[in-house]
Amino acid sequence: MYAPERQQEILRLARDGGRVDVLSLAEQFQVTAETIRRDLKALDRAGLLRRVHGGAIPAGRLDFEQDLTERESTYADEKDRIAKAALAELPTEGTLILDAGSTVARLAAAVPLEAKLTVVTHSLPIAARLADHPGIQLHLVGGRVRHRTRAAVDGWALRAYGEIRADVLFVAANGFSAEHGLTTPDLAEAAVKRAAVEAARRVVLLADSTKHGQEHFARFGDLGDVDLLITDSGLSPEAATDLERGGGTEVLCV
């Protein structure tokens, strides 16, 4: 396959899936990672793709957002490991906020039956998972529900988070980096995430390594707002060190 043909196919894959990564493309096309990086650079210069850490996204797609069902099935093993590690951060008989997100939902499903916690969430799927938990006092934050994420947003949600203090927030992000902070595609959802960050004494970011270096339309915080980042081993040791130095954030790769 000639380079222009390969680049055309890479562009199609990116538009269909919302993102491509270097290693998967190198394996698929049986070329080196460096060859794929040159392809992505050429597509970036042409304004067709936008390079991000480890791969690329379609140009002009800072607002790209997968449906909740799609996100739940993506990088499932990594998200399960992250959720399992996050169990160690649960307070003892304390209060926590659970943000809307597929990895946070996995944490909710893994909360031990003997746990005694007060949980506040604006996520309908997470609330449904915890509604029958015998040890959890559940508070569901209301508001307009976004179809794509099943999360409550707007004024009601913002007022609710403005009235509470929690021990720990487990927050999700579509993109994170020391340079651009924490980002997500939707402004209304970003506002609720920001309010949740302000309501918590400790902030734990649960995000798989593919989110590193990604930048989306709505920014809701600095990396320095995060006390602990739990991610998977796909994040290189060099990147983890840069994040710790750049944001003062503890990084745990699992």
Give the right CATH number for 3-58 from 3.30.1360.10, 2.60.40.2550, 1.10.10.10, 3.40.50.920. Answer: 1.10.10.10
pLDDT, mean of residues 129-154: 95
pLDDT digit string, tens, across residues 179-212: 889 999 899 999 999 999 999 999 999 999 988 9
pLDDT digit string, tens, across residues 34-91: 999 999 988 887 777 888 878 888 876 555 555 555 556 567 899 999 999 999 999 9
Which pLDDT score, from 0 to 100, does residue 173 have? 96
- HSE-up (13 A, CA, CB side) for residue 90: 23
Structure tokens at 54: 């480890």
Distance from the Cα of residue 141 to its chain's centroid: 20
Would you kindly state where each structural domain of the chain is located, as residue ranges?
A: 3-58, 68-253
The alpha carbon torsion through 82, 72, 141, 166 (nearest 10 deg) reads 0
Strand boundaries in the chain, DSSP class E: 20-21, 49-52, 55-58, 95-98, 117-121, 136-140, 144-146, 151-153, 166-171, 175-177, 181-184, 200-206, 218-221, 228-231, 250-253
pLDDT digit string, tens, across residues 206-246: 999 988 988 888 999 999 999 999 999 999 999 999 999 88
Structure tokens at 33: 């990672």
- How far apart (Å, rounded) are the C-alpha atoms in residues 145 and 107? 21
Q: For domain 68-253, give the fold.
A: Rossmann fold (3.40.50)
The yes-or-no verdict on residue 164 having pLDDT over 70 is yes
The yes-or-no verdict on residue 253 having pLDDT over 70 is yes
Full strand arrangement of the beta sheet holding 20-21 = 20-21, 55-58, 49-52
Nearest to 222 by CA among 185, 158, 177, 187: 177
pLDDT digit string, tens, across residues 84-134: 999 999 998 999 999 999 999 999 999 999 999 999 999 999 999 999 999
